[in-house]
Structure 1
Amino acid sequence: MPLFSNGKKLIKTALTSVTLALLSQSLVAAPQHGLAMHGDLKYSPDFKHFEYANPNAPKGGEVKRWALGTFDSFNSFIVKGTPADGLALIYDSLMEKALDEPFSQYGLLAASADLAEDNTQITFKLRESAKFSDGEPVTAEDIVFTFNILLEKGSPFYRSYIGDIKEVVAEDSHTVTFKFKNGNNQELPLLVGEIPILPKHYWATRDFATPSVDIPIGSGPYVIDGFEPGRSVTYRRNPDYWAADLPVMKGRYNFDEIRYDFYRDSTVSMEAFKAGEYDFRQEYTSKLWATAYEGPQFDSGEIIKKNLEHGRPTGMQGFLFNTRRNLFSDPKVRRALAYSFDFEWTNENLFYGAYARTHSYFSNSEMAARELPTPKELALLEPYRDQLPAEVFTQVYSAPTFKDPKDLRRSTRTALKLLKEAGWQLKKGKLINNKTGEPFEFEILIVQKAFERIVAPMQKNLKRMGITATIRVVDVPQYINRLRDFDFDMVVGSFAQSASPGNEQREFFGSYNADQQGSRNLVGIKNPVVDALIEKIISAPSREELVISARALDRVLQWNYYVIPHYHSRADRVAFRSKLAYPDVRPQYGLGFDTWWVKDNAE
C-alpha cells in the first residue's frame, strides 16, 4: 500500500508538472514578426516593403518645411519647453506602424515579439544589428531605461498611455519583457511597440526633466545636423543607418536633408512658400486654399496643388470649454453657447464650402454615433442610466444647424431659455447671473491670428445673448504654457482619433488627467461614466466590441456638450514644389510624407 500510495503521488506530481508546463507554453504564442490590434496582419513574415512605399525611390536631395512659432528644446518627452518640429526623425521604436492597416505593427528594433495569450506580458527579441547614431548598440537596458524614465519624469501623457505597465525586465542584453498590471488592456502591447527608444548612456549625465538644445542621440534614420536657436533645425539622413534595408524602411526616408524653418506668422509663411523659401506645405485654412494658392508658380507647374483623399477618422475639432471654470460647469450653459456658432454661414462665406460639419468625436469612421443606440450599446449604457442625460438613450446628437436667418433668431431664443434655466437673466442687453449679479464674460484664446475671422461671427452672436466674449491672440510659447496650466476660458482644440482608439482616450477625457499639468484633457472632464467607457474601449477583445464601446463613449461626450463642434475635411490639402514625388499607392490612414522623394535624384 505505501509503495502504491507513493507511486500514485509520484504519478500525480509528474502529471501536474506536465500540465503546468503545457499551460505555461499555451500562455505564450510563437514569436511573431508583427502585431495586430484586431484581426490578421496584412504583411507576411517574408514581405519586402510596405505596399505604399516605393522601394526604388531615389535617395538624395533636400526638402525644406515650415513650422509655426519657435523652439527652445530638443526634448519632446517632457512638459517643459517648446520642442522643435521633426524630432521623431531621430528615434526608432521597437515596432513600426503600417499606415494601410487600422492598427498593425512590424518589427523594427525588435526582430520578433512574443505576446502571452492572456495579454499579461510581451517579450521582444532585439536585433543585434540595432545601434544608436554614435555607434553604441541598442540593448535591453535602453528599453528598460526608456520606459522607466518616461513613466517617472515624462509628460503626463505617458502615464495615461502606458501606465498599465507593471514592470520592464531585461532578460539578457537583447531580450526584454514587459509585464502588465493585468490582461485587460488589449492595446498596450502595441503601444509599447511604438514608443521611441532613448539611449541610456546619453542621458546618464543629463537631467531628463530640463529642456535643452543639446543635440540628442537616437537610433532613427536622421540625426540633427545643425540649428539656429528658435529659427531653424536641420536633419541629415544617417548614411550608416542600421535599419535602411529592413522591409519596414524600404522606400522611406529618402531625403538626404530635411530642414524646418520657423515662422511667427502663418501669413508670412505662406508668402515665403510662394517665394520658394520652402518646398512642402499642408494647408488647414480653407480661405487660403481657395484664394492664396494661385499665381505664376502654380500656372507654370512649379508648385503643384493637390487634394489627397484619405480614409482615416477626422476626430473632433471645436471650441473647447474649460469646465474647471464655474462659468462653464453647467451643461445647460455649454449647450446654450453652442447655438452661437453658425457653421452653415461660416462654411459658405468663409470656407468656400470646403468642410463638412462635425457631430461626432469619431467622425468619418464606423465608430461615430450616427444612429440610435443598438441593443448592444444600450446594454453597455444601461447601468449608468441615472448618471446620463436622457437623450443618450433616445436621440441622435446633432450640432445646431442654421439653414436660414430665422434659425439664428430661434436659436438665440432657445439659448436664452437654457441660460435662464441655468440661473442667468438678460437685463438691458447684458446676461447677468441671478445669484452673484456678475455679467457673463469670457475670453477665447487662439494662437493663429487667421482664426479671428472664424471667431468674430460667433462673438457677434454671443453678444445677441448678452454675452461678452473677447478674443486673445498669443504667440506659440505663451499659448503652450497657458494650455499646460489650463489658464483659459475657451480655446480652439482638437482630439485626433485613429482607426483603433484606445489608451489615448484616457489622456483626452479621463478624470485622472483633468488636473494633471500638461495633460490633453483640456476640457477638464471628470465623469465616471466616461472613465468606465474608456476602459471598455481599452479592454475590448474584438473589433465589434471596440466599435460598440466607442459609439457609447461618443454619445456620452456629445450629450454633455463639452465642446462646440467645428468641421472637418476628408482630404489632405497639400502643395509642393514639382521636384517632389510620391508613390502611386497611397496609405489609407496617413499622408505618408516619409515615402516621398526628390525627382532630380532619379537615375
Structure 2
Amino acid sequence: MSPTNGIRRRAVGALVGATALGLTLTACTGSGSGGGDASTLVVYTGQAGDYQINFNPFSPSRIGGLGTIYETLFFHNKAQVSDPVPLLGTEQAWNEDGTVLSVTLRDGVKWSDGEDFTAEDVVFTFDMLKETPSINAGGFDGTVEAVDDTHVTFSFEEPTFVKGPDLMNTPIVPEHLWADINPVEDVIEEPIGTGAFTLKEFKPQAYTIEANADYWGDEPKVKEVRFISLSGNQAGADAIAAGTIDWQTGPIPDIQNTNKNFPNYEAFTQWQNQMVLATCSNADLGCTGPQTDPAVRHALYYALDREQLNNLAFMETANEISPAFTLTPSQDQYLTPVVTELSAPERSLADNAKESLESAGWALGDDGIYAKDGERLSLTVEVVTGWTDYITAIDTMASQAKEAGIELVAAQSSWNEWTEKKVSGNFQLAMDSLWQGPAPDPYYLYNYFYSSASGAEVGESAGNNYSRYDNPDVDAAIDELSTLPLDDLAARQEYFEKIQGAIIEDMPYVPVLTGGTTSIWNTAEFSGWPSGEDLYAFPAVWSAFDAAEIFKRLEPQG
C-alpha cells in the first residue's frame, strides 16, 4: 500500500508525519520537568481525571508499579526479537520435551522493606495465580517448586513451550505480605517490590516513584518519575507545548514537525496494538443487545471507512489491520488460507454490511436504521473521557455506520468506570485495543483474548477475554498450540487455521486499525531513549514493563 492511501505501511521505529489539528503552537524553549529538578522525569500516561490509589499488580484498575516496583523474572522486549533480559531470574532452560522449565534466581535481592527475596516468593506468586483464575492471565496450570533459595522449576503435564515468556513476564510479590491479601479485591496502597523504584508519594492528581538506593542493579540516574493526571489528550498536547512534561504517548498536533515546533522534543512511532470495537458478544453468558448477533458485528466491520478514519482521528499514523489479528508484515507467515481478506477493507462496503444484516433477518426502518423483533440496531460505544483520538474515531464511525443502517452512540466515562464496565460485562461496544504478547507470535493474542478460561458470566469479573467469547474449537486449538515449540511453524499452522477461521466468522472484536503508538519525549533534558538503532523496549509510557526498562536507561542532561 502506498503512503497516499491513508494507511501507512509499518516500519519499526520511524518518525511519523501527520496533519495538524488546527491548533496554533509556538516553539518550546523552556526546561523539561516543569522547570523543576532535572533528575525528575514527568510523564503522562493518558490518565484523565484523578488517580484512585491501587498498586495491586493483578488488578485491572491498578494505576502503576508493574516493572518499576514489582519485577518479573525476565524482561521480554515486545518491540523486536531479542534475548530475554535477566531480572529476578538469571538463567532459564526447558527440558527436551517442554514439560519442565528450570529457572535460576538472582542471589542477594531484597524486597524494599528489607526482607530477603527467595524462591518461596516465586512459588507463592504462581500458586496464588493458579488458585485465582480471574487474575491468571497467562493461564498458568502447572506446578512450581523451590529447589533451593535460588532455583525453581515449573512442571507441566504436557509440553508447554509457549507459556515460558508469560511465566517470565509475571510480576512477583512478597509472600510475607501477600499471604493475607485478597489479590482480586484488595487495593494496595503501600507497594513493596524488588524493583528499581519505590513509591514516594501519592496524590489524586499525581503520584511519584523514586529511585531505590538498595536496588540489586545499578541505581537509576533518573531519581524520580512523576505520573501526572490531566484532562485528556488535548491537555497532554498543551503540556508538551508548555514544556511541563517529559514523555507522553499520544497525539499532538503536527507530529511531523515535532522538533521544529518544540526543539526539546522528538516524536517516535511504532505499530503494534490493534484497535477494535470490542463487543460483549456472548448471550449465553449474559450479554444483551444487538451486538450479540455475529451478523451485526460483521456489518460493523464492513461499514467502516478506515482511510477516512485514519485521516480524521489518527492523523494518518495508524496502519492496516488483519481480520485474523496477525501483525502485518512481521506476522504474515502465520496467516493461513482461511483468511481470504489479508487486511480489513480500507473503504466502507455498506452494501456488504446491509447484506449481512438482511440475511440475518434485520429490516431497514423508516428512520434509516435496521431493526429486528422490535429492537432498533442502536449500539452504545464506551470510551474514556479525554481520549480525544478515540472519541473522534467513534464520531467518525457513527457517521459511517449510519450509512449502513446502524446507529452508534458514544458514552464517555472515567478510566475506572470504563474498565469496570468491560470487566463486568456491562457494555455493548467498547473502543479499545488488543495487545501483543511477550514474543512476536499471534498465539499470545489468541490466548489472551479468545480463550474461554479468562472469560466470565456477565456480572462476574472477566480477565482479558472481556468479550466473553467461548468457542470449544478455539480453546482446543489454543491448547494444542501451547504444546508446540514456537519455531515449529509447519506443525502449528493447522491450529492457527482453526482459530483464524472461527474468530473471523464470529468476530467478537471488530477490527478497526493497527494504532501507531507515538511517543513525544524530551531529548534535551534526557538521553537514552529507544531508537530505530536501539529499540531495546516498546516505546510507550503506558506499556509498564517496557517503560520501566526505559526509566532505568535514561540519563538526565541538566
Q: For the superposition of Structure 1 and Structure 2, which TM-score range results when normalised by the shorter chain?
A: 0.7 to 0.9
2:551 is aligned, of 581, 587, 594, to: 594
Report the CA distance between 1:370 and its aligned residue.
8.8
In 1, the alpha carbon distance for the partners of 2:351 and 2:79 equals 48
Secondary structure of the structure 2 residue equivalent to 1:161? coil
Match of 1:163, as an amino acid?
Answer: F
Report the CA distance between 1:205 and its aligned residue.
5.0
Give the aligned partner of residue 442 of structure 1.
Answer: 379
Give the aligned partner of residue 143 of structure 1.
Answer: 122
Larger radius of gyration: 1
Higher helix share: 1
Give the aligned partner of residue 528 of structure 2.
Answer: 582
Report the CA distance between 1:262 and its aligned residue.
1.5
Give the aligned partner of residue 215 of structure 1.
Answer: 190
TM-score (norm 1): 0.74
Secondary structure of the structure 1 residue equivalent to 2:101? strand
Structure 2 portions without partners, runs of 5+:
1-37, 283-287, 540-545
In 1, the alpha carbon distance for the partners of 2:318 and 2:85 equals 35
TM-score (norm 2): 0.79
Question: Closer, same or farther in 2 for the Cα pair 1:211/1:269, shift >3 Å?
Answer: farther
Give the aligned partner of residue 479 of structure 2.
Answer: 535
Question: Closer, same or farther in 2 for the Cα pair 1:567/1:547, shift >3 Å?
Answer: farther
Give the aligned partner of residue 195 of structure 1.
Answer: 170
Match of 1:256, as an amino acid?
Answer: K
Give the aligned partner of residue 26 of structure 2.
Answer: none
Question: Closer, same or farther in 2 for the Cα pair 1:570/1:586, shift >3 Å?
Answer: farther
Secondary structure of the structure 1 residue equivalent to 2:521? strand
The alignment-based identity, stated in percent, is: 20
Deviations 1:62-87 (A, max 9, x none): 2111131343333333447x322344
In 2, the alpha carbon distance for the partners of 1:292 and 1:448 equals 26
Report the CA distance between 1:127 and its aligned residue.
3.0
Q: Does 1:182 align with 2:139?
A: no
Report the CA distance between 1:104 and its aligned residue.
3.6
In 2, the alpha carbon distance for the partners of 1:291 and 1:397 equals 29
Q: Does 1:421 align with 2:340?
A: no
Q: Do the aligned residues in 2 keep the contact of 1:334 with 1:562 (CA within 8 Å)?
A: yes
Q: Does 1:337 align with 2:300?
A: yes
In 1, the alpha carbon distance for the partners of 2:491 and 2:519 equals 30
Match of 1:62, as an amino acid?
Answer: T
**Aligned-residue RMSD, C-alpha:** 3.1
- Following superposition of structure 1 onto structure 2, how do residues 484-503 of structure 1 map, counting pairs within 5 Å? 484-498=423-437, 499-503=440-444
Report the CA distance between 1:576 and its aligned residue.
2.1
Q: Do the aligned residues in 2 keep the contact of 1:90 with 1:221 (CA within 8 Å)?
A: yes
Question: Closer, same or farther in 2 for the Cα pair 1:157/1:259, shift >3 Å?
Answer: same
Q: Do the aligned residues in 2 keep the contact of 1:255 with 1:598 (CA within 8 Å)?
A: yes
Q: Do the aligned residues in 1 keep the contact of 2:55 with 2:189 (CA within 8 Å)?
A: no
Deviations 1:395-442 (A, max 9, x none): 33542332xxxxx5xx333322321111111131344545x2222222
In 2, the alpha carbon distance for the partners of 1:412 and 1:524 equals 28
Question: Closer, same or farther in 2 for the Cα pair 1:463/1:364, shift >3 Å?
Answer: closer
Give the aligned partner of residue 11 of structure 2.
Answer: none
Question: Closer, same or farther in 2 for the Cα pair 1:363/1:94, shift >3 Å?
Answer: closer
Question: Closer, same or farther in 2 for the Cα pair 1:298/1:234, shift >3 Å?
Answer: farther
In 1, the alpha carbon distance for the partners of 2:517 and 2:57 equals 30
Q: Does 1:125 align with 2:104?
A: yes
Secondary structure of the structure 1 residue equivalent to 2:394? helix
- Following superposition of structure 1 onto structure 2, how do residues 325-474 of structure 1 map, counting pairs within 5 Å? 325=288, 327-360=290-323, 361-368=325-332, 373=337, 392=338, 395-402=340-347, 411-434=349-372, 436-449=373-386, 450=388, 451-474=390-413
1:263 is aligned, of 230, 242, 246, to: 230
Q: Do the aligned residues in 2 keep the contact of 1:359 with 1:398 (CA within 8 Å)?
A: yes
In 2, the alpha carbon distance for the partners of 1:107 and 1:497 equals 21
Deviations 1:4-55 (A, max 9, x none): xxxxxxxxxxxxxxxxxxxxxxxxxxxxxxxxxxxxxxxxxxxxxxxxxxxx
2:39 is aligned, of 61, 81, 84, to: 61
Q: Which moved more, 1:125-134 or 1:473-482?
A: 125-134
Give the aligned partner of residue 33 of structure 1.
Answer: none
Q: Do the aligned residues in 2 keep the contact of 1:445 with 1:473 (CA within 8 Å)?
A: yes
Report the CA distance between 1:236 and its aligned residue.
1.0
- Following superposition of structure 1 onto structure 2, how do residues 254-333 of structure 1 map, counting pairs within 5 Å? 254-283=221-250, 285=251, 288-290=252-254, 298-299=260-261, 301=263, 303-308=264-269, 310=270, 314-324=272-282, 325=288, 327-333=290-296
Q: Do the aligned residues in 2 keep the contact of 1:445 with 1:472 (CA within 8 Å)?
A: yes
Q: Do the aligned residues in 2 keep the contact of 1:320 with 1:490 (CA within 8 Å)?
A: yes
Report the CA distance between 1:212 and its aligned residue.
2.9
Secondary structure of the structure 2 residue equivalent to 1:176? strand
Q: Does 1:522 align with 2:466?
A: yes
Q: Does 1:513 align with 2:419?
A: no
In 2, the alpha carbon distance for the partners of 1:241 and 1:306 equals 31
Q: Do the aligned residues in 2 keep the contact of 1:369 with 1:551 (CA within 8 Å)?
A: no
Question: Closer, same or farther in 2 for the Cα pair 1:202/1:447, shift >3 Å?
Answer: same
In 1, the alpha carbon distance for the partners of 2:294 and 2:111 equals 51
Question: Closer, same or farther in 2 for the Cα pair 1:567/1:455, shift >3 Å?
Answer: same
Report the CA distance between 1:89 and its aligned residue.
0.2
Deviations 1:83-120 (A, max 9, x none): 22344201222233356763642543234335322222
Secondary structure of the structure 1 residue equivalent to 2:67? helix
Q: Do the aligned residues in 2 keep the contact of 1:161 with 1:507 (CA within 8 Å)?
A: yes
Give the aligned partner of residue 241 of structure 1.
Answer: 215
Report the CA distance between 1:547 and its aligned residue.
6.7
Q: Do the aligned residues in 2 keep the contact of 1:444 with 1:471 (CA within 8 Å)?
A: yes
Secondary structure of the structure 1 residue equivalent to 2:376? coil
Question: Closer, same or farther in 2 for the Cα pair 1:474/1:139, shift >3 Å?
Answer: same
Question: Closer, same or farther in 2 for the Cα pair 1:455/1:201, shift >3 Å?
Answer: same
- Following superposition of structure 1 onto structure 2, how do residues 92-107 of structure 1 map, counting pairs within 5 Å? 92-98=71-77, 102=81, 104-107=83-86
Question: Closer, same or farther in 2 for the Cα pair 1:563/1:141, shift >3 Å?
Answer: closer
Q: Do the aligned residues in 1 keep the contact of 2:90 with 2:104 (CA within 8 Å)?
A: yes
Secondary structure of the structure 2 residue equivalent to 1:357? coil
Q: Do the aligned residues in 1 keep the contact of 2:274 with 2:515 (CA within 8 Å)?
A: no
Report the CA distance between 1:298 and its aligned residue.
4.9
